[in-house]
Structure 1
Amino acid sequence: MKNYRKNKWPGLLLLLLLWQAGVGAQIAIESDVYAGAIWRHTPKLTTETAGIRWGQELSVRFQTDGRRDWHQWHRYPAFGVSLLHMRLGEGSHGDAFALLPQLSVPVFRWGRFAAFFRLGTGLARVSDPYDYFKNPEQNAIGSHWNNITQFRLGGEFRFDDHLRVNAGVSLTHFSDGGAALPNYGINLPSAYTGLVWSPHPIRESDFLPAAGSKKVVRHFGTIGQAGLARIEYAVFDGPGYPVWCTSVAGYYRFNRVNRALLGIDHEFNRAVFEYGQQAAFFENEAAARKGATRLALFAADEFLFGSIGVQLQMGFYIGDGFNQLVFKKQYSKLSTRYYFPAMFKTPLQAFTGITLKAHAFTAEYISGNIGLAF
């Protein structure tokens, strides 16, 4: 239970997407079956990966209809929340049960067929995490409570106004973000298929056009944020250490729902500072403080869905003497933000959010953030 408070926030934040969809959105019920395999993304993984893994999902979807301008600007996306079960296997941490808020953005529509990209992030409970006494051989997951992040690409065919069939591929990731070691994470590529039933369907001809313009008058701006994560480091069942995170970036708005960012990330990893001194990796405290500092340049793209922002980021470390004991020279981040209304009759907006940072396919931390955009 020690990681529940931290890992619940990705799901709670994305649940705001359901509110953003509007009360009048059309509701659909979706049921899917998954078949996949655990990906051995690192040779350090001792969790069993052989064999097919099965899963089931039951979802409620809310189809936007254009009552807000950004519905049309994003081609009328759908929001939903899923109950998901994945059978990971006896040698692979048992079972995973998840609450998964998700967003489906249409790639294209053609007659009765539509293709969607879906992103979801939420809270998962894994039945058999690593335990020094009870389960020492499985090292992908270190705690019961974890973040689940899923990417899904698929198509949907409409038989009639009420019934549709879908199929596609997905990548599902389970991790506690380093809050408890070991944390190599589970990456589960899968194929899926399912049925969607709509009791009160909405047709594309019912979609409302946007009343305003997608274009923006002010293209350039700045965004800054500060965050905090908690991680274990090097030692299983060891103490937790804070990671302090700050960033500042300039952005260019292509339109009212998309902007590109260039910026600088700064972190201070207390775990590296303490561990590096105890292991005599650094000559003195000043060297340890510099080596435990992460300095990086990044590029990002943020998609705006009303008050919700979803940002994809890639970065690389810079600076001589900084960034010691990093996993790789490059990293990625997935961030979800909730923007509060603009303040003082200016473009200034406060926000809160959550970030998952990873090196390749292994998560380093999950941080909570606050910031300002203007």
Structure 2
Amino acid sequence: MKKILFLIPFFMLQCCLFGQNIKRLGLEGSYGFIIPHSRELKPLSQTNPLGINLHYQNLNSSLKNWKNCNCFHYMGLQISYHNFGNPEVLGSATSLTGTFEPIIWQKNKWTFSLLSGLGLSYLNRIYDEVSNPENVFFSSHLSFLIYLTPKIEYSLTQDWGLNASISYNHISNGGQSQPNKGINYPMGSLGLVRYFQRKIFPIYEKDKISRNWMYYFESGFSTREGKDGREPNISVVFGTIKPLSSINGIGGGLELNKDFSLEVNENRIEALIPAPYIAHHFIFGKIDFSQRMAFYTHKPMGYNDYVLYQRYVLGYKLLNHLTLGIGLKAHGHIAEHMDLRIGWKF
């Protein structure tokens, strides 16, 4: 988990290198529901989470910062409290996340943006085989929170705005302890925004996007609980991307995964898991968020009953070719583990 923690300030570093032109503070109230992504979770998914979010953001309108994303974007910190409506079993989550929010569309007083966040949650009620055996959503007090939030805002005055959003939230411990079904809960929110500094955006021309196929090599590393303690889990990826627009691309490739925590009968080659995949990419300058759908062509006996899995990867281009990021592997709504990713684009 410590290997992942440094990525939150890393992705936020760009907002602190230069002077911030626009600063704002937002307060939102949220209401949602829990998705029962397996049969055993249905009895626990009959409540409606309530939440409150406090969000501080900066937008740097310099040309250099614009080129990082090919768009104007906010970066900031959000503190949230979500009560799952079942205090004895599920309790609540108190979270601190780093956020990235590119502006997708703006006209007159209306703004549409796409907020994403990654950070840590403290869960006050977790699984315990004696005192809380029903809670198979999460088993560690400290877990990860990831969310994606389309948001629309209306400017009431120069200093105040009103926004509405729908967020998809996921909390799990990244496979560091079991049980770890993970909790998925969409929420609708209404909020107010107070601007402390607000200026008219300058006009920049977008960089021309190459429509040529690009290729990349990527490797992922994490650890998982095995028979003899924590064991390495390593993956190697060969992939390609074709940009379709300034923010969208498609692609595919092959992932080879070697999980040393899996038991084998004769030799370790049995734990090699090859999986071809197709992918969609949200590309914001140096930031690439890919959603991959992979097909198991081989896996060890007893590993799982799934034919497909998803891999979500958030990467940041450090240099012209070098990328660093994090990945999440999931089967449907069930997260399996998170890992650290390093790649090289050609």
TM-score, normalization: structure 2? 0.89
Equivalent residue number for residue 213 of structure 1: 207
- Kept in 1: contact 2:70–2:207 (CA 8 A): no
Equivalent residue number for residue 260 of structure 1: 250
Equivalent residue number for residue 226 of structure 1: 219
Displacement of 1:7 in angstroms is: 4.7
Alignment partner of 1:117 is 2:107 = no
Query: Are the structure 2 counterparts of residues 357 and 19 from structure 1 closer, same or farther at C-alpha, using a change threshold of 3 Å?
Result: farther
Given candidates 318, 329, 332, the residue that maps to 1:340 is: 318
Question: Pairwise mapping of residues 119-134 of structure 1 onto structure 2 (< 5 A)?
Answer: 119-134=116-131
Displacement of 1:63 in angstroms is: 2.5
CA distance in 2, matches of 1:358, 1:197: 37
- Structure 1: 5+ residue stretches without partners: 278-283, 343-348
Given candidates 215, 225, 249, the residue that maps to 2:239 is: 249
Displacement of 1:327 in angstroms is: 4.4
- Kept in 1: contact 2:49–2:83 (CA 8 A): yes
Q: Which amino acid aligns with 1:333?
A: R
Over the matched positions of the two proteins, sequence identity in percent amounts to: 21
- Kept in 1: contact 2:162–2:191 (CA 8 A): yes
Question: Pairwise mapping of residues 183-194 of structure 1 onto structure 2 (< 5 A)?
Answer: 183-194=180-191
Query: Are the structure 2 counterparts of residues 32 and 9 from structure 1 closer, same or farther at C-alpha, using a change threshold of 3 Å?
Result: same
Query: Are the structure 2 counterparts of residues 329 and 10 from structure 1 closer, same or farther at C-alpha, using a change threshold of 3 Å?
Result: farther
Equivalent residue number for residue 308 of structure 1: 287
Q: Which amino acid aligns with 1:8?
A: L
Query: Are the structure 2 counterparts of residues 299 and 189 from structure 1 closer, same or farther at C-alpha, using a change threshold of 3 Å?
Result: same
CA distance in 2, matches of 1:35, 1:315: 33
- Kept in 2: contact 1:74–1:105 (CA 8 A): no
CA distance in 1, matches of 2:190, 2:241: 39
Question: Pairwise mapping of residues 145-160 of structure 1 onto structure 2 (< 5 A)?
Answer: 145-160=142-157
Displacement of 1:254 in angstroms is: 4.3
Three-state SS of the structure 2 residue aligned to 1:198 is: strand
Question: Pairwise mapping of residues 1-374 of structure 1 onto structure 2 (< 5 A)?
Answer: 4-16=1-13, 18-19=15-16, 22-45=18-41, 48-65=44-61, 67-68=63-64, 70=66, 74-88=70-84, 89-203=86-200, 206-210=201-205, 213-216=207-210, 219-232=212-225, 239-254=229-244, 259-272=249-262, 274=263, 277=264, 284-286=265-267, 289-290=269-270, 292-319=271-298, 325-342=303-320, 349-374=321-346
Displacement of 1:94 in angstroms is: 1.6
Three-state SS of the structure 1 residue aligned to 2:13 is: helix
Q: Which amino acid aligns with 1:95?
A: S
CA distance in 2, matches of 1:83, 1:18: 18
Three-state SS of the structure 2 residue aligned to 1:68 is: helix
Q: Which amino acid aligns with 1:239?
A: G
- Kept in 2: contact 1:46–1:139 (CA 8 A): no
CA distance in 1, matches of 2:161, 2:44: 36
CA distance in 1, matches of 2:97, 2:287: 16
RMSD between aligned residues = 2.7
- Structure 2: 5+ residue stretches without partners: none
Larger proportion of strand = 2
Displacement of 1:159 in angstroms is: 0.6
TM-score, normalization: structure 1? 0.83
Three-state SS of the structure 2 residue aligned to 1:285 is: coil
Three-state SS of the structure 2 residue aligned to 1:109 is: strand
- Kept in 1: contact 2:69–2:284 (CA 8 A): no
- Kept in 2: contact 1:168–1:193 (CA 8 A): yes
Q: Which amino acid aligns with 1:263?
A: G
CA distance in 1, matches of 2:213, 2:33: 44
- Kept in 1: contact 2:70–2:285 (CA 8 A): no
Q: Which amino acid aligns with 1:86?
A: H
CA deviations on 1:265-291 (whole Å, 9 max, x unpaired) are: 11012222x2xx4xxxxxx314x732x
Query: Are the structure 2 counterparts of residues 29 and 113 from structure 1 closer, same or farther at C-alpha, using a change threshold of 3 Å?
Result: same
CA distance in 2, matches of 1:176, 1:99: 15
CA distance in 2, matches of 1:145, 1:73: 31
CA deviations on 1:178-214 (whole Å, 9 max, x unpaired) are: 11000001111111111001011123xx32313x632
CA distance in 2, matches of 1:68, 1:141: 41
174-183 or 113-122, larger mean C-alpha shift: 113-122
Query: Are the structure 2 counterparts of residues 307 and 24 from structure 1 closer, same or farther at C-alpha, using a change threshold of 3 Å?
Result: same
